């Protein structure tokens, strides 16, 4: 089962900074089985931009499509968003979205929650070293806007994001 997370931030830059940490945990240190990651920014004028992280290797290409597709849906009207998501995500988009258990309300909820001047990070992952993941995301901030995981896991992630980081 893949886990899809949309975590929102009250400014337009923080999601990019958090993406760097998620990429480090997943693709550099291999503590998180990271399938895809993208940042959506809603500008003050109400427009959206999408910044999708490029994959370090070829085997991720099928998993890479779900986040690009969903982020595309968030930044545009359903038809425009789907076309953009398909361009960004590539082949296998519908299969990846279905395998992650994503419903239409996921996209609508994230669209509604993203106010002008905010950003969100979309992360698609599988299991990983939970202890290392929680250590890596501690204190990064943000609000879990939407996820397809159970409520207890979402609460754990939210409380870890909100935790203060103590001295090493």
Annotated domain spans of the chain: 3-162
pLDDT at residue 31, rounded to an integer: 87
Count of CB atoms situated within 10 Å of the CB of 10: 12
User: Which residues of the chain carry a pLDDT beneath 70?
Assistant: 1, 53-104, 107, 166-168
pLDDT at residue 53, rounded to an integer: 62
pLDDT tens-digit profile of 76-108?
534 344 444 444 444 344 444 444 445 567 767
Give the angle 19-138-120 at the CA atoms, nearest 5°. 35
DSSP state of 59: G
pLDDT at residue 61, rounded to an integer: 41
Alpha carbon distance 109, 106 (integer Å) = 5
Q: Which residues pair with 32 in a beta bridge?
A: 128
Sign of CA dihedral 162, 163, 166, 168: negative
State pTM to two decimals.
Answer: 0.74
Alpha carbon distance 92, 17 (integer Å) = 28
- Nearest CA to 1 out of 121, 68, 101, 95 is that of 101
Alpha carbon distance 113, 80 (integer Å) = 20
């Amino acid at each position: 089962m893949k886990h899809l997370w949309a975590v929102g931030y009250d400014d337009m830059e923080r999601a990019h900074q958090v993406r760097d940490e998620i990429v480090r945990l997943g693709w550099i240190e291999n503590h998180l089985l990271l399938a895809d990651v993208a940042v959506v920014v809603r500008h003050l004028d109400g427009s959206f931009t999408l910044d999708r992280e490029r994959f370090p290797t070829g085997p991720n290409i099928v998993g890479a499509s779900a986040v690009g597709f969903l982020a595309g849906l968030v930044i545009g009207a359903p038809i425009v968003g789907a076309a953009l998501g398909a361009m960004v995500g590539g082949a296998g988009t519908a299969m990846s979205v279905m395998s992650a258990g994503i419903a239409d309300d996921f996209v609508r909820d994230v669209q509604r929650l993203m106010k002008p001047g905010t950003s969100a990070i979309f992360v698609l992952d599988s299991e990983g070293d939970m202890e290392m993941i929680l250590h890596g995301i501690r204190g990064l901030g943000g609000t879990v806007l939407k996820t397809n995981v159970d409520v207890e896991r979402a609460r754990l992630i939210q409380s870890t994001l909100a935790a203060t980081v103590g001295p090493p």
